[in-house]
Structure 1
Amino acid sequence: MTNETERRWNSDGKVTNNTGFAVYENALRAVAKERNVPLLDVEAFPTDLFNIVGRQKMDTLSKTKADGSIDVIHVNATGGMFIGVFIADNAKRLVPELAPYIQ
């Protein structure tokens, strides 16, 4: 499983991958491909989702820092449920044998 991307928005209103873990994520992808095992790419899946949902909605699902700014890494409880459902659905798709254990 890769890391979730930070939610940093470019001038076009799209999330860009700014996690700084590209080497790690690419290594995971390569190993999964080499060993022919499923990889839950939490960097790629949610990035697509964030871009569909948009910044305004995603900001409401993010934690707020002490200074009032939006935390671009961590989500609040509602955001956790939102992303969790998305990840669970993709896990069931990638590994159908897990479906009975994921609600």
Structure 2
Amino acid sequence: MRLWVDYTGKLKLLSWNGNASSWTVILEHPSADCDLYATCGPFGYCDHHTAPVPTCQCLDGSSLSTVATSQEDAEALKCRKKSHFVTLPGMKVPDKFTRIRNTTF
């Protein structure tokens, strides 16, 4: 057995297959590509309702500003934010702030 974190941030549990002389993935987390952090870049979201493969979309209030120019950019969209706020129900947003209070350094 082998526990491994790949370059995308997925945690994988692997088992050695002696017949095939290779590692077989038994379990991976997160299992859905849409659950990976920042998969679609800033102002983008992963739409897991598009079958058969989830796709990246720009948020309402944003528009596509550039086309992907490399293999790495093909995953993340280049969305441009417009200058207004929109309600985004049901979205998972990152917790990117640090709260420090009553602390002495």
* Shorter-chain TM band: under 0.3
- Greater relative CO (CA pairs within 8 A, separation 6+): 1
Structure showing greater radius of gyration is 2
TM-score normalised by the chain length of structure 1: 0.23
Question: Which structure shows the bigger proportion of residues in helix conformation?
Answer: 1
Question: Which structure shows the bigger proportion of residues in strand conformation?
Answer: 2
